[in-house]
Protein backbone atom coordinates (compact mmCIF):
# COMPACT_ATOMS: atom_id res chain seq x y z
CA UNK A 1 0.00 0.00 0.00
CA UNK A 2 1.40 3.41 -0.89
CA UNK A 3 1.87 5.62 2.13
CA UNK A 4 -0.61 8.43 2.51
CA UNK A 5 1.06 11.82 2.70
CA UNK A 6 -0.82 12.79 5.88
CA UNK A 7 0.09 9.49 7.48
CA UNK A 8 3.73 10.16 6.81
CA UNK A 9 3.42 13.55 8.54
CA UNK A 10 2.09 11.76 11.63
CA UNK A 11 4.91 9.21 11.45
CA UNK A 12 7.39 12.07 11.52
CA UNK A 13 5.76 13.54 14.64
CA UNK A 14 5.63 10.13 16.32
CA UNK A 15 9.28 9.62 15.43
CA UNK A 16 10.19 13.02 16.86
CA UNK A 17 8.37 12.28 20.13
CA UNK A 18 9.97 8.86 20.54
CA UNK A 19 13.36 10.48 20.04
CA UNK A 20 12.79 13.29 22.54
CA UNK A 21 15.16 12.58 25.41
CA UNK A 22 13.71 15.42 27.48
CA UNK A 23 10.32 13.77 27.64
CA UNK A 24 10.62 10.05 27.18
CA UNK A 25 7.91 7.35 26.99
CA UNK A 26 5.03 9.38 25.53
CA UNK A 27 1.59 7.80 25.93
CA UNK A 28 -0.85 7.20 23.10
CA UNK A 29 -2.96 10.12 24.30
CA UNK A 30 0.05 12.46 24.47
CA UNK A 31 1.16 11.49 20.96
CA UNK A 32 -2.36 12.06 19.67
CA UNK A 33 -2.62 15.48 21.28
CA UNK A 34 0.75 16.63 19.96
CA UNK A 35 -0.08 15.36 16.45
CA UNK A 36 -3.36 17.29 16.61
CA UNK A 37 -1.52 20.41 17.66
CA UNK A 38 1.39 20.19 15.25
CA UNK A 39 -0.56 19.06 12.21
CA UNK A 40 -3.69 21.03 12.90
CA UNK A 41 -5.89 17.93 12.92
CA UNK A 42 -8.95 18.38 15.08
CA UNK A 43 -10.52 14.96 14.64
CA UNK A 44 -7.48 12.76 15.11
CA UNK A 45 -8.20 9.71 17.28
CA UNK A 46 -5.94 7.57 19.44
CA UNK A 47 -7.03 4.62 17.28
CA UNK A 48 -5.42 6.25 14.24
CA UNK A 49 -2.17 6.79 16.13
CA UNK A 50 -2.27 3.18 17.32
CA UNK A 51 -2.63 2.02 13.72
CA UNK A 52 0.18 4.37 12.66
CA UNK A 53 2.50 2.79 15.22
CA UNK A 54 1.52 -0.68 14.02
CA UNK A 55 2.20 0.35 10.44
CA UNK A 56 5.58 1.86 11.37
CA UNK A 57 6.47 -1.46 13.02
CA UNK A 58 5.64 -3.49 9.89
CA UNK A 59 8.47 -4.92 7.84
CA UNK A 60 9.69 -3.09 4.78
CA UNK A 61 8.63 -2.37 2.11
CA UNK A 62 5.09 -1.87 3.48
CA UNK A 63 6.31 -0.45 6.81
CA UNK A 64 9.54 0.91 8.28
CA UNK A 65 10.69 -1.89 10.61
CA UNK A 66 10.46 0.67 13.42
CA UNK A 67 11.46 -0.99 16.73
CA UNK A 68 8.66 0.72 18.68
CA UNK A 69 7.69 -0.97 21.92
CA UNK A 70 5.34 -0.19 24.79
CA UNK A 71 7.21 0.07 28.08
CA UNK A 72 4.83 -1.33 30.69
CA UNK A 73 6.78 0.07 33.63
CA UNK A 74 6.95 3.60 32.25
CA UNK A 75 3.51 3.29 30.61
CA UNK A 76 4.62 4.84 27.35
CA UNK A 77 6.21 4.12 23.98
CA UNK A 78 9.89 4.05 23.10
CA UNK A 79 12.35 2.99 20.40
CA UNK A 80 14.18 -0.19 21.44
CA UNK A 81 17.03 0.79 19.12
CA UNK A 82 18.00 4.42 19.84
CA UNK A 83 19.95 4.58 16.55
CA UNK A 84 16.89 3.75 14.45
CA UNK A 85 16.27 6.23 11.62
CA UNK A 86 12.78 6.51 10.14
CA UNK A 87 13.01 5.72 6.44
CA UNK A 88 16.24 3.82 7.00
CA UNK A 89 18.67 6.48 5.81
CA UNK A 90 20.37 9.48 7.33
CA UNK A 91 21.37 12.07 4.77
CA UNK A 92 24.06 14.71 4.69
CA UNK A 93 23.71 17.96 2.70
CA UNK A 94 25.37 16.54 -0.38
CA UNK A 95 23.04 13.49 -0.34
CA UNK A 96 20.08 15.81 -0.04
CA UNK A 97 21.18 17.85 -3.06
CA UNK A 98 21.72 14.72 -5.12
CA UNK A 99 18.30 13.36 -4.19
CA UNK A 100 16.60 16.66 -4.94
CA UNK A 101 18.09 16.56 -8.43
CA UNK A 102 17.05 12.95 -8.79
CA UNK A 103 13.41 13.60 -7.91
CA UNK A 104 12.83 15.13 -11.32
CA UNK A 105 14.44 12.18 -13.04
CA UNK A 106 12.49 9.61 -11.03
CA UNK A 107 9.26 11.47 -11.72
CA UNK A 108 9.94 11.67 -15.41
CA UNK A 109 10.69 7.96 -15.64
CA UNK A 110 7.60 7.32 -13.52
CA UNK A 111 5.94 4.04 -12.82
CA UNK A 112 5.47 2.95 -16.40
CA UNK A 113 8.90 1.41 -16.75
CA UNK A 114 8.98 -0.44 -13.47
CA UNK A 115 6.71 -2.94 -11.77
CA UNK A 116 4.06 -2.18 -9.20
CA UNK A 117 6.32 -3.15 -6.32
CA UNK A 118 8.97 -0.72 -7.47
CA UNK A 119 6.41 2.00 -8.08
CA UNK A 120 5.23 1.68 -4.49
CA UNK A 121 8.78 1.89 -3.20
CA UNK A 122 9.40 4.91 -5.40
CA UNK A 123 6.23 6.54 -4.15
CA UNK A 124 7.40 5.98 -0.60
CA UNK A 125 10.74 7.63 -1.28
CA UNK A 126 9.06 10.53 -3.01
CA UNK A 127 6.61 10.99 -0.14
CA UNK A 128 9.50 11.06 2.29
CA UNK A 129 11.46 13.50 0.20
CA UNK A 130 8.53 15.80 -0.42
CA UNK A 131 8.04 16.06 3.32
CA UNK A 132 11.69 16.90 3.76
CA UNK A 133 12.08 19.17 0.76
CA UNK A 134 8.80 20.81 -0.14
CA UNK A 135 10.44 22.78 -2.96
CA UNK A 136 10.71 19.46 -4.82
CA UNK A 137 7.04 19.89 -5.70
CA UNK A 138 7.77 22.69 -8.18
CA UNK A 139 5.35 22.64 -11.07
CA UNK A 140 7.84 22.91 -13.88
CA UNK A 141 10.10 19.97 -14.64
CA UNK A 142 13.51 20.55 -16.20
CA UNK A 143 13.88 16.97 -17.33
CA UNK A 144 11.91 14.97 -19.83
CA UNK A 145 12.44 11.38 -20.87
CA UNK A 146 10.49 9.13 -23.19
CA UNK A 147 7.62 7.89 -21.02
CA UNK A 148 5.19 5.91 -23.16
CA UNK A 149 1.85 4.85 -21.67
CA UNK A 150 1.76 1.49 -19.93
CA UNK A 151 1.92 -1.30 -22.48
CA UNK A 152 -0.08 -4.52 -22.68
CA UNK A 153 1.56 -7.39 -20.82
CA UNK A 154 3.63 -5.13 -18.61
CA UNK A 155 1.43 -6.14 -15.67
CA UNK A 156 3.32 -9.44 -15.72
CA UNK A 157 6.67 -7.78 -15.10
CA UNK A 158 6.75 -8.66 -11.39
CA UNK A 159 5.68 -12.26 -12.04
CA UNK A 160 8.42 -12.78 -14.63
CA UNK A 161 10.99 -10.98 -12.51
CA UNK A 162 10.21 -13.28 -9.58
CA UNK A 163 10.24 -16.31 -11.88
CA UNK A 164 13.76 -15.37 -13.01
CA UNK A 165 15.03 -14.88 -9.46
CA UNK A 166 13.35 -17.97 -8.01
CA UNK A 167 13.94 -20.16 -11.10
CA UNK A 168 10.27 -20.95 -11.60
CA UNK A 169 8.99 -22.27 -14.94
CA UNK A 170 6.01 -20.39 -16.38
CA UNK A 171 3.21 -21.52 -18.67
CA UNK A 172 1.61 -18.82 -20.78
CA UNK A 173 -0.41 -18.29 -23.91
CA UNK A 174 1.44 -16.56 -26.72
CA UNK A 175 0.06 -14.80 -29.76
CA UNK A 176 2.27 -14.60 -32.83
CA UNK A 177 1.52 -11.36 -34.71
CA UNK A 178 3.08 -12.55 -37.95
CA UNK A 179 1.55 -16.03 -38.10
CA UNK A 180 -1.73 -14.87 -36.50
CA UNK A 181 -1.75 -17.91 -34.25
CA UNK A 182 -2.04 -18.70 -30.56
CA UNK A 183 -0.01 -21.32 -28.72
CA UNK A 184 0.57 -22.44 -25.15
CA UNK A 185 4.21 -22.26 -24.12
CA UNK A 186 6.29 -23.20 -21.12
CA UNK A 187 9.34 -21.10 -20.53
CA UNK A 188 12.17 -21.39 -18.01
CA UNK A 189 12.96 -17.67 -17.80
CA UNK A 190 16.34 -16.17 -16.96
CA UNK A 191 16.28 -12.63 -18.32
CA UNK A 192 13.91 -9.69 -18.75
CA UNK A 193 15.06 -7.23 -21.37
CA UNK A 194 13.88 -3.79 -22.40
CA UNK A 195 14.62 -2.53 -25.88
CA UNK A 196 13.17 0.65 -27.33
CA UNK A 197 10.48 0.74 -24.65
CA UNK A 198 9.35 -2.79 -25.38
CA UNK A 199 9.71 -5.53 -22.77
CA UNK A 200 10.76 -9.10 -23.46
CA UNK A 201 11.08 -12.29 -21.47
CA UNK A 202 13.89 -14.63 -22.44
CA UNK A 203 14.30 -18.25 -21.39
CA UNK A 204 14.42 -21.86 -22.42
CA UNK A 205 11.23 -22.74 -24.27
CA UNK A 206 10.08 -26.34 -23.86
CA UNK A 207 8.12 -26.24 -27.10
CA UNK A 208 11.02 -24.91 -29.18
CA UNK A 209 13.69 -26.81 -27.22
CA UNK A 210 15.96 -23.78 -27.27
CA UNK A 211 16.32 -20.30 -25.80
CA UNK A 212 13.59 -18.02 -27.10
CA UNK A 213 12.51 -14.43 -26.69
CA UNK A 214 8.86 -13.49 -26.18
CA UNK A 215 7.44 -9.97 -26.28
CA UNK A 216 5.49 -9.37 -23.07
CA UNK A 217 2.80 -7.64 -25.11
CA UNK A 218 1.99 -10.99 -26.73
CA UNK A 219 1.81 -12.96 -23.48
CA UNK A 220 -1.44 -13.90 -21.74
CA UNK A 221 -2.25 -15.46 -18.37
CA UNK A 222 1.17 -16.64 -17.19
CA UNK A 223 0.94 -19.40 -14.57
CA UNK A 224 3.77 -20.44 -12.25
CA UNK A 225 4.49 -24.15 -12.46
CA UNK A 226 5.68 -26.57 -9.84
CA UNK A 227 8.22 -28.42 -11.93
CA UNK A 228 11.97 -28.71 -12.28
CA UNK A 229 13.62 -25.61 -13.70
CA UNK A 230 15.77 -26.13 -16.78
CA UNK A 231 18.93 -24.10 -16.41
CA UNK A 232 20.69 -22.61 -19.40
CA UNK A 233 24.48 -22.42 -19.71
CA UNK A 234 25.95 -19.28 -18.19
CA UNK A 235 27.68 -18.43 -21.48
CA UNK A 236 24.32 -18.33 -23.28
CA UNK A 237 22.82 -16.09 -20.59
CA UNK A 238 25.77 -13.71 -20.82
CA UNK A 239 25.54 -13.64 -24.59
CA UNK A 240 21.83 -12.81 -24.43
CA UNK A 241 22.58 -10.05 -21.96
CA UNK A 242 25.67 -8.54 -23.57
CA UNK A 243 26.18 -9.47 -27.20
CA UNK A 244 22.91 -8.37 -28.79
CA UNK A 245 21.74 -5.10 -30.20
CA UNK A 246 18.01 -5.73 -29.77
CA UNK A 247 16.38 -8.99 -28.82
CA UNK A 248 15.67 -11.19 -31.81
CA UNK A 249 18.81 -12.92 -33.14
CA UNK A 250 19.01 -13.93 -36.76
CA UNK A 251 18.73 -17.75 -36.62
CA UNK A 252 21.88 -19.87 -36.68
CA UNK A 253 24.25 -16.94 -36.35
CA UNK A 254 26.92 -16.68 -33.70
CA UNK A 255 28.71 -13.66 -32.33
CA UNK A 256 30.85 -12.29 -35.15
CA UNK A 257 32.55 -9.25 -36.57
CA UNK A 258 30.22 -6.87 -38.37
CA UNK A 259 31.74 -4.15 -40.51
CA UNK A 260 29.90 -1.15 -41.94
CA UNK A 261 30.81 2.05 -43.75
CA UNK A 262 29.16 5.26 -42.61
CA UNK A 263 28.68 8.56 -44.38
CA UNK A 264 30.06 11.67 -42.69
CA UNK A 265 26.53 12.44 -41.46
CA UNK A 266 25.90 8.99 -39.99
CA UNK A 267 29.39 9.02 -38.47
CA UNK A 268 28.30 11.92 -36.25
CA UNK A 269 25.42 9.89 -34.84
CA UNK A 270 27.39 6.70 -34.25
CA UNK A 271 30.17 8.71 -32.59
CA UNK A 272 27.68 10.48 -30.35
CA UNK A 273 25.52 7.44 -29.56
CA UNK A 274 27.55 4.22 -29.75
CA UNK A 275 25.16 1.30 -30.17
CA UNK A 276 27.32 -1.29 -28.42
CA UNK A 277 30.40 -1.51 -26.23
CA UNK A 278 32.31 -3.32 -28.96
CA UNK A 279 31.83 -0.46 -31.45
CA UNK A 280 35.08 0.79 -32.97
CA UNK A 281 35.19 3.72 -35.40
CA UNK A 282 38.01 4.35 -37.83
CA UNK A 283 37.55 7.74 -39.43
CA UNK A 284 38.63 8.49 -43.00
CA UNK A 285 39.92 11.85 -44.28
CA UNK A 286 36.62 12.65 -46.05
CA UNK A 287 34.60 12.25 -42.82
CA UNK A 288 33.30 8.83 -43.75
CA UNK A 289 34.19 6.00 -41.38
CA UNK A 290 34.57 2.26 -41.08
CA UNK A 291 32.85 0.84 -38.00
CA UNK A 292 33.21 -2.64 -36.58
CA UNK A 293 31.20 -4.48 -33.94
CA UNK A 294 31.50 -7.86 -32.25
CA UNK A 295 27.85 -8.87 -32.03
CA UNK A 296 25.30 -11.60 -32.55
CA UNK A 297 23.44 -10.24 -35.61
CA UNK A 298 19.85 -9.37 -34.82
CA UNK A 299 16.78 -8.25 -36.71
CA UNK A 300 16.92 -4.94 -34.84
CA UNK A 301 20.52 -4.35 -35.94
CA UNK A 302 19.65 -4.78 -39.60
CA UNK A 303 16.63 -2.49 -39.15
CA UNK A 304 18.88 0.14 -37.59
CA UNK A 305 21.24 -0.02 -40.57
CA UNK A 306 18.31 0.23 -42.98
CA UNK A 307 16.86 3.21 -41.11
CA UNK A 308 19.98 5.21 -42.07
CA UNK A 309 19.34 4.55 -45.76
CA UNK A 310 22.33 5.16 -48.04
CA UNK A 311 24.32 6.58 -45.12
CA UNK A 312 25.10 3.06 -43.90
CA UNK A 313 26.66 0.38 -46.08
CA UNK A 314 27.20 -3.12 -44.75
CA UNK A 315 30.62 -4.46 -45.71
CA UNK A 316 30.88 -7.71 -43.72
CA UNK A 317 29.77 -10.42 -43.34
CA UNK A 318 28.60 -10.99 -46.89
CA UNK A 319 25.53 -13.00 -45.91
CA UNK A 320 24.30 -10.01 -43.85
CA UNK A 321 24.40 -7.79 -46.93
CA UNK A 322 22.06 -10.17 -48.71
CA UNK A 323 19.89 -10.70 -45.65
CA UNK A 324 19.41 -6.95 -45.19
CA UNK A 325 18.67 -6.45 -48.88
CA UNK A 326 15.83 -8.96 -48.56
CA UNK A 327 14.30 -6.96 -45.71
CA UNK A 328 13.91 -3.87 -47.87
Partner 1 sequence: MAVKNRSLLFEVPNLDTPKQNPKILRVLVTNEFTRIDFGYTTPWYYEKGGWIKISSKTYLQIEGITTKYCLKEAVGIPIAPKRTNFKSTKDWQFFSLYFESIPQKDCILNMIEAEKPTENDFNYYGIVLKMEEGIEILE
Q: Where along the sequence are the contacts to partner 1 (CB under 8 A)?
A: 168, 171, 173, 175, 180-184, 186, 220-221, 223-227
CB-nearer residue toward partner 1: 196 or 221:
221
- CA dist 274 and 268 (Å) reads 10
CB-nearer residue toward partner 1: 181 or 233:
181
CB-nearer residue toward partner 1: 226 or 328:
226
CB of 225 vs partner 1, minimal distance in Å: 5
CB of 153 vs partner 1, minimal distance in Å: 11
- CA dist 193 and 176 (Å) reads 19
- CA dist 233 and 147 (Å) reads 35
- Within 10 angstroms of residue 91's Cβ, the number of other Cβ atoms is 14
CB-nearer residue toward partner 1: 226 or 254:
226
What is the phi/psi pair of residue 305, to 5°?
Answer: -60, -45
Strands (E), 46-169: 68-71, 76-79
Residues in the chain: 328
CB-nearer residue toward partner 1: 87 or 153:
153
CB of 224 vs partner 1, minimal distance in Å: 4
Q: Look at residue 5 and give its three-state secondary structure.
A: helix
Per DSSP, the residues of 70-90 read EETTTTEEEESSTT--TTS--
Contact yes or no for 15/63 (Cβ under 8 A): no
CB-nearer residue toward partner 1: 168 or 294:
168
In angstroms, the Cα distances linking 50 to 101, 195, 196 are 35, 47, 47
CB of 227 vs partner 1, minimal distance in Å: 6
CB-nearer residue toward partner 1: 166 or 233:
166
- CA dist 174 and 163 (Å) reads 17
Contact yes or no for 205/212 (Cβ under 8 A): yes
CB of 222 vs partner 1, minimal distance in Å: 11
Amino acid sequence: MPINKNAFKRYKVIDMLLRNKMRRYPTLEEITEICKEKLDLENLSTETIKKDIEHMRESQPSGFDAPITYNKQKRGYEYLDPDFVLGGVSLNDSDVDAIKESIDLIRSIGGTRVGEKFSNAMEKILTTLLEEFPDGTKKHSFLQTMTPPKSRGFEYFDLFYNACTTETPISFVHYNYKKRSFSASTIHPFLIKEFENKWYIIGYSEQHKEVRTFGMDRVFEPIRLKKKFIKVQKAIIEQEANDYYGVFPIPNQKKQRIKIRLSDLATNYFEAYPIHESQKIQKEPDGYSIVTFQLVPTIELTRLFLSHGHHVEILEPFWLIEFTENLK
